Structure 1
Amino acid sequence: MLKTSSLQVVVLMALLIVNVSCREQSTKPVADDSAYFPLEVGNYWIYQVTTKTYVTANAPLTQVYQLQQKVSSSYTQNGQLVFVIDESTRQTDRSPWKLKSLHTVYKNRLEVVDQDNNAPVVRLAFPVSAALSWNTNLYNANPLVLLRYQDAGRPFSVGKLNFDDTVSVLGTNDSTLVSQEKYLRVYARSAGCVYREDRSLAFCQASSDCLGSGVIESGTVATWELIASDRLP
C-alpha cells in the first residue's frame, strides 16, 4: 500500500500530465477557414469559361472565353476592409483584356460577402462544416437560397492543376423528368475558387416519347475552370 507522501507524488504527476496535454491541445493551431477565399490587393484568378445555351433540341450554342478576376484596390468602410474586384474577359491568350465590370468583396471571421449586381450575397460562412447551411441572400431582398458545404478537405483536380485541400459549396442540385438545376463551387485552401458550375435546363416534354428521355429543350450550362493565378503554389 502506498504511503501518503508517495500517493501525493503520483497524484501530482497525473495532474501535471493532464495539464500539459490540455495545454498542447489548446495551443494547437486552428486552421483558418477564411483561407479558402484569399483576398489581397494584386491577387488574380484566370478562368476558362464554357457556356452552352440550348434553345431547341438541336446542338447548343457554345461560347468559350477567358475571364479574369483581379483585386485592384481596397478601402475601409465602417471599420471593414473592402476589396475591389476588376472582372475582365478575352477570347484567347493573345487577345487584350476588356474590362467587363467591377464589384466589391469583404470577409470577416463569420462570412464572405460579395456585392453581385448591386445585391450583397454571402459566398461562404464560417466555420466550414458539413452541418452548416446559410442563406446566400441574407442581405438582399431575393428569395431564400440555402448553400451548404460538402467534401471539406478533399483533393480536387481541374485541368492540369491539383489541389490537396478543397471544399465544395452546393446550392440547388435537383434533377427531375422535366428540369435540372445545379449550383456548385469548389474552393481550394490558399487558392480560392478553382471551379464553378451552374445548370438550368428544361427537358423535352412535348410527347410521351421524349418525356424522361433527357433531351434538353432549353436552358444553359456554364462552367469555370481555373487555369492561372498568383495564388497557385
Structure 2
Amino acid sequence: MQYYKLLLISLVACFGCTSELETDFSRLGVQYFPMEVGAYRIYDVHDTNYYLIGPEEENYQLKEEVVDSTIISDTEVRYQLHRSKRADETAVWKLDSVWTTSINTTRVVAVENNVSFVKLVFPIEENLSWDGNSYNNRQSEFYQYGESQIDTVLAEQAFTNVVQVIQSNQGIDPLIGRDDRLEYYAPEVGLIIKYHAKWAYDQEDGIVNTDKIVAGRQLEQTLITYGKKQD
C-alpha cells in the first residue's frame, strides 16, 4: 500500500509496526482516498453552466495527478494535485488548476479553488454525517454516507464496495430549482463518479418558469482510467 507510506512513517512512533497500521487504516476506510506522488486519475466530464442568456455545455477530459507531498504533523500528510484538461485523447493536456488535499486518521480535507471541503471522515460508516463546510466560512452543509456499498462497472472496469457520499439530495423543487450532489469512491482507487446538479429556475413577478434555468451548474464526471506515472 504505497500511497500510505508517508502517513505510516509519520504515525509509526505512535502506533507501532507498519503492518498493524495498515490493518487499522483499512478498518478506518483510508483506502477510499489513496494518495501517492505520481498517481493519477483521468475522467470524462460533461459540464453545463447555466446563465440568463442560456446554457453553455462543454465536454472534456480531466486528469488529476499527485505531484508532491508534505508531512504536516505526526498524524497528517498534505498532497498537491495538478488538474489538467484536454478536449479529447488526441489533444495535449493543459494545466487548469492546482488543488491540495490533507489526510489524517479522522478526515480528508480538499482545498478546491481556495475553498476547503471535508470530503470524507473516518471511520466510514453507513448513514454517518458530517459538516462538509466545517473548514470554510460557508453555511453548514451536512454530507452523509449512503446506506450501503455498491458495485458498478465504468469503462469496462468493475468496482466493488463503492461508497456513496451524499452532499445534497434535495432533488427538484418546482418553486426553486434543483440541488443533487453525489460522489462515489472505490477502495484503492478513490473518486470514480461525481455528479453535481445545482441550478435555479427563472422567476419573474413571483412566477416560476420551470422550463428555463437561469443560474447554476450540472457536472457529470466519470472515471475512465487510473494508474501511477513511471519514474
Structure 1 pair 222–75 and aligned structure 2 pair: CA distance change class (3 A): same
Give 1:151 deviation, angstroms: 4.2
Q: How is 1:44-55 mapped onto 2 (pairs within 5 angstroms)?
A: 44-55=40-51
Deviation string, structure 1 residues 193-218 (Cα, Å, up to 9, x no partner): 0000111122355599x958x52422
Give 1:124 deviation, angstroms: 0.2
Deviation string, structure 1 residues 37-76 (Cα, Å, up to 9, x no partner): 1111111011111012334697x43200011100011112
Give 1:83 deviation, angstroms: 1.0
Partner residue of 1:230?
A: 227
Distance (whole Å) between structure 2 residues aligned to residue 73 and residue 41 of structure 1? 6
1:77 equivalent to 2:75? Answer no
**Any runs of at least 4 consecutive aligned residues in structure 1 with deviations exceeding 6 A, and if so which?**
none
Distance (whole Å) between structure 2 residues aligned to residue 109 and residue 74 of structure 1? 16
Matched residue type, 1:229: Y
Deviation string, structure 1 residues 163-211 (Cα, Å, up to 9, x no partner): 1110110112212113111111000111100000111122355599x95
1:120 equivalent to 2:116? Answer yes
TM-score norm. by structure 1 comes to: 0.77
Give me the identity figure in percent.
Answer: 26
Matched residue type, 2:85: T
Matched residue type, 1:185: E
Give the alignment's Cα RMSD to 1 decimal: 2.5
Q: Which moved more, 1:141-150 or 1:97-106?
A: 97-106
1:184 equivalent to 2:179? Answer no
Structure 1 pair 54–81 and aligned structure 2 pair: CA distance change class (3 A): closer
TM-score norm. by structure 2 comes to: 0.78
| Unmatched 5+ stretches in structure 2 | 1-22
Higher strand share: 2
| Unmatched 5+ stretches in structure 1 | 1-27
Deviation string, structure 1 residues 66-99 (Cα, Å, up to 9, x no partner): 1110001111223332111111111111111111
Distance (whole Å) between structure 1 residues aligned to residue 221 and residue 128 of structure 2? 25
8 Å contact 1:199–1:220 — kept in the other structure?
A: yes
Count of aligned pairs between the two proteins: 201
